Structure 1
Amino acid sequence: MGKDLGGFLAIYGAVFDGNGAEWSIGGPTPNVASLLGLLGIPQGISGSHNKYEADVSPTRPDLYEYEYGNDYKVIVPQFQQMFDLQPDAATANYDLSVLTPFRATRFQQSISDNPYFFNGPFSGVLVQPAAYTFIFRFMGNKSAEYPEGILNQDVLKSFFAITGDSGSFTWTEGYERIPDNWYKRAIGDEYTIPFFLTDVLAAAAEYPQFLDIGGNTGTVNSFTGVDIQNLTGGVFDGATLLEGNNLECFVFQAVVQAAPDMLEGTEESLLDSLVGQINGAVGDALGDVACEKLQTYNTEQYSQFPGSTGVDSGKNAKRRYRI
Structure 2
Amino acid sequence: MKAFGMGFDLATFLAVYGAIFDGDLTSYSIGGPALSLLGLGSLLGEPQGLSGSHNKYEGDLSPIHGDLYQYGNNLPRVSQFAALYKLGQENGDSVDLDVLTEFRLQRFEQSVAENPYFFFAPFSGTIVNPAAYTFIYRFMANKSAENPEGVLDGETLKSFYAVTGNYPDFTITPGHERFPDNWYKRNLVDYYTIPYFQEDLLAMNLQHLQFLSVGGNTGTTNSFVGVEPADLTNGVFNATNLLEGNNAFCFGTELILQMAPDLLSGLFHDITQALGMLTSAVNDTTLGLNCPQLTSIDKTKFNKFPGYTKLKPNGVYKA
Shift, 1:86, TM fit: 2.7
Distance 2:225 2:200 in 1: 25
**Residues 2-55 of structure 1 deviation map (CA, whole Å, 9 limit, x = unaligned):** 111110001001001111111011122324325324342111111111110121
Q: Residues 105 and 208 of structure 2 are in contact (CA less than 8 Å); yes or no, is this contact kept in structure 1? A: yes
Aligned to 1:283: 283
**Residues 136-173 of structure 1 deviation map (CA, whole Å, 9 limit, x = unaligned):** 00000000011000001110000000011222211111
**SS state at 1:60 partner:** coil
Shift, 1:266, TM fit: 5.5
Distance 1:244 1:93 in 2: 29
* Aligned positions of 1:112-131 closer than 5 A: 112-131=113-132
**Residues 272-306 of structure 1 deviation map (CA, whole Å, 9 limit, x = unaligned):** 11111111111111121222221112210111000
* Aligned positions of 1:164-313 closer than 5 A: 164-265=165-266, 270-309=270-309, 312-313=312-313
Instruction: State TM-score, norm by structure 2.
Output: 0.93
Distance 1:53 1:34 in 2: 25
**SS state at 1:205 partner:** helix
Shift, 1:265, TM fit: 4.3
Distance 1:39 1:295, change over 3 A: same
Distance 1:293 1:182 in 2: 43
Q: For this pair of structures, how many residues does the alignment match? A: 313
Distance 1:158 1:267 in 2: 39
Instruction: State TM-score, norm by structure 1.
Output: 0.92
- Pick one of 74, 77, 89 that aligns with 2:76: 74
Partner AA of 1:10 in structure 2: A
Distance 1:88 1:18, change over 3 A: same
* Aligned positions of 1:1-80 closer than 5 A: 1-65=6-70, 68-71=71-74, 73-80=75-82
Name the stretch that deviates more: 303-312 or 229-238.
303-312
Uncovered stretches (5+) of structure 2, i.e. residues with no partner: 1-5
Shift, 1:193, TM fit: 0.7
Identity of aligned residues (%): 51
Task: Extract structure 1 runs of 4+ deviating beyond 6 A.
Answer: none
Distance 1:88 1:38 in 2: 49
Distance 2:290 2:94 in 1: 37
Q: Residues 49 and 310 of structure 1 are in contact (CA less than 8 Å); yes or no, is this contact kept in structure 2? A: no
Distance 2:311 2:33 in 1: 13
Give RMSD over aligned pairs. 1.8
Uncovered stretches (5+) of structure 1, i.e. residues with no partner: 319-323
Distance 1:267 1:143 in 2: 47
Distance 2:176 2:303 in 1: 40
Aligned to 1:321: none
Distance 2:239 2:223 in 1: 20
Distance 1:240 1:130 in 2: 21
